[in-house]
Amino acid sequence: MRIATWNVNSVKARLGNVTEWLDSAKPDVVLFQEIKCETAAFPLQAFQDLGYHCAVVGQKAYNGVALLSREEPTDIITRLPGEPEDEQARYVEATVGGIRIASLYLPNGNPVGTEKYPYKLRWMDRLKAHASSLLASEVPFVLGGDYNVIPEARDVYDPAAWVTDALFRPETRAKFREITHLGLVEAFRAVHPTAERAYSFWDYQAGAWPRDMGLRIDHFLLSPQAADRLVGCAIDKGPRGQEKASDHTPVVLELAA
C-alpha cells in the first residue's frame, strides 16, 4: 500500500497539479491538508474520475482535510476527539485495507504570544490521547499529514533562525516526542536515519525554493503493527518546482501487504 500526504494549499487552485501528480504517482491512499474549501465545494468529480473515494472535512477559506482511497473508506471520523467545541477542520480518519489512516493538519501556533500557541499544544495533547486509545486497540494505524513540527535541528535549513517559532520551540518538539514515545515510528527517519537537508516545505518568500531553505514538517507516525510493514518513505520534490505549486510537496509512505 502506497500512502501519500500533501498539504496542497488550496485544492481548487492547484487542481491541475494535484490530479497530474496523482495520475502519475498512483498512490492507493492520499491525505490532503489545507484544501481551503467547504466540504460541498470540494472538486469531488475530478478525483472520482481518477478512481478515488473521498472523505472530506472542509471549512470556508481555511484549513480543511481529505482522505482519498482506491478502496472505499469505512468507519470515518471527522473530528479529533477531546475538545467538542473545536470546529476547525483539521482531522479525518477512516479504515482502509484493515488499517486506520488519518489525515491531520496540526495547528501552526504562530504568533506564539497569542491563543494560537496554547491551542496548538492542546491539539497535540489530544492527538497523544487519541493515539494512546488507538494503540490500546492493537489495530495498525498511520497518522499522516502536516504536523507543523520541525522535529530536529537537521530538519530546518537554519535552526537558529527558527528557535522561537511555534514550529520549533522546545515545548513543541517535546510534545512531538511525547507522541512518538508512546511507541510510534516516524517513518521518514526510520528509513533515512542520517538524511540531511530533506525538506517537505519551502516558503514562497525570499527565494526559499531555489535556495533550498526548507523545513521538514510533513510526517507519518506509524503504530508498531504498521511499522512492521514499513518498506519505504520518500519526499517527492518534483511538484514543488512546478508553476502554481503548493509550498509543500508530497511525502510517500510504502507499506508491505
Task: Tell whether residue 87 is among the known ligand binding residues.
Answer: no
- How many Cβ atoms from other residues are within 10 Å of residue 39's Cβ? 18
Residues taking part in catalysis = 105, 146, 248
Instruction: Determine how β-strand 141-146 pairs with β-strand 218-222.
Output: antiparallel
Task: Tell which residue, 81, 65, 82, has the closest CA to residue 30.
Answer: 65
What is the rounded distance in angstroms from the CA atom of residue 200 to the CA atom of residue 251? Answer: 7
Task: Tell whether residue 148 is among the known ligand binding residues.
Answer: yes
Place of cell 488507538: 134
Place of cell 517513518: 187
The dihedral region occupied by 238, where left means phi > 0, alpha psi between -120 and 50, and beta the remainder, is alpha
Task: Tell whether residue 125 is among the known ligand binding residues.
Answer: no
What is the rounded distance in angstroms from the CA atom of residue 196 to the CA atom of residue 153? Answer: 10
Sequence-distant (≥ 6) Cβ neighbours of residue 87 within 8 angstroms: 59
Task: Tell whether residue 9 is among the known ligand binding residues.
Answer: no
Q: Which residues are annotated as a binding site?
A: 7, 34, 146, 148, 247-248
Q: Which residues are annotated as a binding site for Mg(2+)?
A: 7, 34, 146, 148, 247-248
